[in-house]
């Protein structure tokens, strides 16, 4: 299924040989008012200190119907009550399967996916997956 809204988790349906076929992205913006619809996406779980974002044709992407356990091991950011953010590797997911719900804010994308992460200092944090 092709993506059709902000916040969907996607991957390339036919990646090039040098690309990781399991790389996940989140849709930050989507444009249907163009001749070829495009999506502005952010790669999830990469080791960069900055967010890697790119624009791709919507037709090259597919929505990933994943269980939340596929997020295990990825380096992600969570948002805790009080808008406190923490970043680390996902070590636990509350629900193994969930229909993700997304909300675009001025600073990122809020979700209803509850995760526990382990930060670089060995401390655990729990909260909702958040994409900056």
What is the percent of the chain where pLDDT is above 90? 43
Per-residue model confidence as pLDDT tens digits over 85-96: 999 999 999 888
Domain containing residue 108: 68-131
pLDDT band at 120 (very low <50, low <70, confident <90, very high): very high
Residue 47: its pLDDT value, please? 60
Residues 52 and 79 in one domain: no
Q: What are φ and ψ of residue 127, in 5° steps?
A: 175, -175
Question: Is there a contact between 25 and 3 (Cβ–Cβ < 8 Å)?
Answer: no
- The residues, any chain, with a CB within 8 Å of residue 117's CB and separated by 6 or more, are 76, 78, 86, 87, 88, 89, 90, 91, 124, 125, 126
pLDDT tier at 46, thresholds 50, 70, 90: low
Q: Specify whether 82 is located in the same domain as 97.
A: yes
The reply to whether 72 and 122 lie within a common domain is yes
Chain segment 6-32, per-residue pLDDT in tens: 888 889 988 888 888 888 888 889 999
């Amino acid at each position: 299924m092709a993506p059709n809204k902000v916040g969907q988790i996607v991957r390339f349906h036919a990646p090039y040989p040098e690309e990781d076929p399991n790389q996940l992205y989140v849709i930050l913006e989507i444009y249907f008012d163009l001749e070829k619809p495009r999506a502005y996406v952010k790669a999830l779980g990469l080791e960069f200190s900055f967010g890697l974002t790119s624009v791709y044709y919507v037709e090259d992407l597919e929505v990933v119907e994943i269980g939340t356990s596929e997020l295990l091991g990825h380096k992600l950011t969570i948002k805790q009550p009080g808008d406190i953010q923490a970043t680390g590797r996902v070590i636990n997911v509350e629900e193994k399967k969930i229909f993700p719900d997304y909300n675009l804010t001025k600073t990122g994308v809020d979700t209803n996916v509850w995760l526990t992460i382990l930060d670089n200092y060995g401390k655990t944090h729990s909260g909702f997956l958040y994409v900056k």
